Amino acid sequence: MGIIRSHKALLISFCIFTIITRGILAFRPEVLLSQRPYNDDAFYALTVGYHLGNGNGFSIDGVHPTNGVQPLIVVLYGAAFSLVGEDKLLGLQLTMMIPAITDCICLLAIYFLLRRMIKSKDDTSLRHVPILGSALWTFLLGNIIINGNGLEPGLLAACILLCLLLYSIILEKRRTDTSSHTLLWTLLGILLGLTVLARIDAVFFVFAIICAELFFNKDTLLRERIKVVIILAITSFVISLPWWTYNYTTFGSMMPISGQSESIDDHFALNLFMTPTVLGDLCLVIMYIPDALLNNMVRPIVGLSIIGTIIVIGKYLQWKNYLQKNYHTEALILLAIYAIPLIVYYTFFFSASHFIARYYHPIRVLSVISAAMLLPNIIDSYRRSKAIRGAAIVYLSVGIIFNLWHYMMNFYTTASSPAYHVSQWAQLHPEYRIGMTSSGTAGFFADNVVNLDGKVNFEALKARRNNELGKYCIQDNINLIADWKENAQLIIKQAEQTGAQFEQIGSIGPIELHKRIR
């Protein structure tokens, strides 16, 4: 199924716009590259990618192995750094083309996926749904915060959408002939394996497709469904097996050490606040509620109110019947099944509330696709009701301002990361071996910075579990602690129990510098 002629130029312009608005960020000064759009944890992946690209394997320092990263994005970073050798700045700039490319893949995949989901190709009211879906993904410049943060969300979204597109192609063929399509199912299994390598919790996505095949495709013989499940399970497992093997044989666990590190502290109460907040934001589609407007006690209530409002509107406009009448909804069902274990796991069994928006990014794919599919129904209601017309105008106006503001904030910001300034100080003082908890940014730019929170440092993780980070610092010859006050004091207190002694020699913004004097 090709591109509608009037949409071709729009898709090309969307891709050009995406590459420019994402890629142009690479041309800012180094100090700004350290702050946005990449976050501190992104520099862990970038550092490992740098060492991988220079022949040192999955390592945070070129010596010690790590698995505290998502492997597929690191492999892409490794390819970028292999082109420039040891030039970290040029390699960093080159990696910023990756989110631009993955976003282009996303907007194109959304277009072709929605084209296939429309039941009646002659229904002119649905003709522009695919291009509207692509436009939503392209111009949600708030997406740059998630897709362009230097971690895996954009790559994960691209992999999920490609899987959904291929799945829709297979289902369309299944509706018109009775062939087994073994080759296509195998290809889907390979894509699923790569999706798992993009982010490990995408195993839930594999389970979602398996569940859909087993329990929802009743029109297909059970024997054929079981055959499909076996193909998908085996193929995706084989593709991702090297990473599982590496994790278990090197670190004794299937979970990356970054996940283990995040789970040490109990953030259950914060998770309960963040989940309804983020889900409410995802229901808004083109914006989210800025943190500065609401305190933590109010935000989940607002999030629940948004979700409730969307449910009420959906019942009033009969969205369920509308979707079933006009679209093949298998992709929506898959994403909904995938969302359930994501929400349960990251709310009740994981402690990283500050990353929940990133963990729920696949649900953003669901919200964007759903919004595009429902737009004709909303537009029809817009024409019939003055109240809906007024609300829509206000909503779109706020959304446009929100997206422009967030892009400007990311592109034109003059703020700089204190961790970057620590790295500059560290480069001027190579005599120090510097320990730091959130060491992603500083550790990328300065080789004498050692990770202490255990996200990418297995020995530090083991010490942190036993409340022995201070002892680890002494044993690893770390002679300076650079950290936020609370973290620094805790580490120094533990170190002093071994007979060591530190004194503060200064600070860089909120980061205190404590030198070992004994």
Share of the chain above pLDDT 90, in %: 64
Mean pLDDT, the chain, rounded, equals 89
Please give the structure tokens belonging to residue 472: 């680890």
Q: Are 3 and 127 in contact (CB under 8 A)?
A: no
The answer to whether residue 58 scores a pLDDT higher than 90 is yes
Q: Which residues contact 484 (CB under 8 A, 6 or more apart)?
A: 437, 510, 511, 512
pLDDT class of 141 with cuts at 50, 70, 90: confident
Beta strands in 169-257 (DSSP E): none
User: Are 37 and 146 spatial neighbours (Cβ–Cβ below 8 Å)?
Assistant: no
Structure tokens at 419: 């961790």
pLDDT in tens, 447-493: 999 999 999 999 999 999 999 999 999 999 999 999 999 999 999 99
Burial group, residue 165, by CB count within 10 angstroms (0-12, 13-18, 19+): buried
Q: CA 45 to CA 39: how far, in whole Å?
A: 11
Q: Is the pLDDT of residue 142 over 80?
A: no
Closest-CA residue to 503 (of 512, 511, 476, 452): 512
Task: Round to whole Å and give the CA distance between 93 and 167.
Answer: 35
Q: What is the mean pLDDT of residues 43-72?
A: 94
Q: Residue 106 and residue 53: Cα distance in Å, rounded?
A: 26
Instruction: List, for residues 263-284, the tens digit of each pLDDT value.
Output: 877 777 888 888 998 999 899 8
Evaluate if residue 177 carries a pLDDT over 90.
no
